[in-house]
Structure 1
């Protein structure tokens, strides 16, 4: 699911023509624009499940070590993970730096404007389904072409005297 969400952002980035930015060129306003674009995009929401997923993985890991403590481990991990929620802003800052390295400040402003526009909001809501449906259509097409290619290749091989 995360991959599909990133794909929508990648398609948009390709559409506007991404210009790589050198790390030393990132100013505070550039980073702010990156943060705004990131938070406006569907990519930001794709990270919302990261901390809960880490917590579940930690529970599983610790319960494997001490299955007799499964209840207390679960409760303790749930308590501790809540103390880590404020660290999400650290992730956002690191992601914003990545975005700032990939886009100019002006591009980031344009991206945020797009995602905050009616079309951008619709893209956020409908885009994942459209992209998923598009993958389905592409897979079906590839399957049909594959069958045609197999049959045409068999015919040509027979024409060349090869038994198939």
Structure 2
């Protein structure tokens, strides 16, 4: 999935946009070991239960599953180990204060390659309530019906 600006998206966390209201996005580098990069290039990543956290002044990504590369040597790292995120000190401090102040969390939105480097897009997000999810579903359904009606009206002309 090559995009025009040289970004190749490996995996998207589609569930994140459904369960969270994303307030802002931050792109961070991700520290990988050994054949994890090759495994990512093959698209072997899963976001189930993945989240970001600021610990000890460093940003970490927890529970991101990167499957071991089949052709790698014996010493494959743990698939769900915490992975360090590369952000500037100011960004880390700002994200730390926003997550501590109230109700916000760091959610990974996608993993991509930019210029040969693996990056993760983090979203500073607030959890949606059940009624918010229902309202979003209703809004999308109504929008889809409006688009369908426009297409049918254009065909009849």
User: Which interval holds the TM-score relative to the shorter structure?
Assistant: 0.3 to 0.5
TM-score (norm 1): 0.36
- With normalisation by structure 2, the TM-score equals 0.37
- Greater fraction of residues in helix: 1
More strand by share: 2
- Of structures 1 and 2, the larger Rg is shown by 1
